[in-house]
Amino acid sequence: MRLRNIPGADDAILNSEYCIKNPEEQKGHWQDCFNKVQPLHIEIGMGKGRFIMDMAALHPDINYIGIERYSSVLLRALQKMEQNPLPNIKFICMDAADVAGVFAKDEVDRIYLNFSDPWPKDRHAKRRLTSTHFFEHYDHILAPDGRVMFKTDNRPLFDFSLEQVPEAGWTLENYTYDLHHSEYNEGNIMTEYEAKFSALGTPINRLVAYRTKK
């Protein structure tokens, strides 16, 4: 993602009612941030938030939290929220490496990873959000029957992820190398990157992973 440092982004986030400051203080109490107690789904690396906001509008019976590392990117989502507020979505500006400090054991029901940064160099493999390293974090926060759902246009990253799932002790529920022409496409909501890449004819890969027992 092309990044510009947008002046005032940090302040806008600090002052936004949609963005949770000091998220570690909410650990174990995320439902208090919402009007209704209902399943909690998070997207890690949400970018400008198109996917998670569309999901929140479509599924008022689910609470959503969007996580984005960069304030200048998250700002775009906050601006959209101000135009079209939704009661079942909040945002956090943080690095995903800290998720286990922010969510309690089993507190999250689903984790979406969409078009995560590929970190192509081998020495950076641990930074990929689908590495065994990150699956350990997800293991702490995801409910026993929870799912990790990952979409990407990047085939090398997808192949790496298909290997990491069993290596992390998780199970592949299903996967496809061409989501939009597969049986799994029904109900699919496109992310910003997904719309861009599929318009160029790039197939979209998707996998769903879960733990067999916990």
Contact 111, 42 (CB under 8 A): yes
Nearer to ligand SAM, 18 or 193 (CB): 193
Residue 142 neighbours by CB under 8 Å, 6+ apart: 106, 108, 109, 110, 111, 148, 211
Span from 22-30, 160-168, 172-180, 185-193 in contact with ligand SAM (CB under 6 A):
185-193
- Among 98, 117, 122, 145, the active-site one is 117
Out of 67, 77, 168, 209, the only residue in the binding site for ligand SAM (CB under 6 A) is 67
Residue 103 neighbours by CB under 8 Å, 6+ apart: 27, 30, 42, 140, 141
Q: How many CA atoms lie within 13 A of 80 on its CB side?
A: 18
Is residue 117 a contact residue for ligand SAM (CB under 6 A)? yes
Min separation Cβ 195 and ligand SAM, Å: 8
Is residue 68 a contact residue for ligand SAM (CB under 6 A)? yes
Select from 145, 147, 140 the least CA-distant residue to 105.
140
Select from 146, 179, 151, 136 the least CA-distant residue to 62.
146
* Cβ count near 136 (within 10 Å): 12
Nearer to ligand SAM, 143 or 189 (CB): 189
Q: Active-site residue 117, yes or no? A: yes
Out of 69, 80, 140, 147, the only residue in the binding site for ligand SAM (CB under 6 A) is 69
Q: Are strands 142-152 and 205-210 parallel, antiparallel or unpaired?
A: antiparallel
Instruction: Tell me phi and psi for residue 97, to 5 degrees.
Output: -60, -20
Is residue 47 a contact residue for ligand SAM (CB under 6 A)? yes
Helix (H) or strand (E) holding 90: strand 89-93
Contact 114, 83 (CB under 8 A): no
Number of residues interacting with ligand SAM: please give it, by CB under 6 A: 21
Is residue 70 a contact residue for ligand SAM (CB under 6 A)? yes
Out of 96, 111, 142, 157, the only residue in the binding site for ligand SAM (CB under 6 A) is 96
Span from 12-20, 61-69, 171-179, 198-206 in contact with ligand SAM (CB under 6 A):
61-69
Is residue 1 a contact residue for ligand SAM (CB under 6 A)? yes
Nearer to ligand SAM, 24 or 145 (CB): 24
Report the catalytic residues.
117
The residues of the shown chain that bind ligand SAM, judged by CB under 6 A, are: 1, 44-47, 67-70, 73, 95-97, 114-117, 191-194
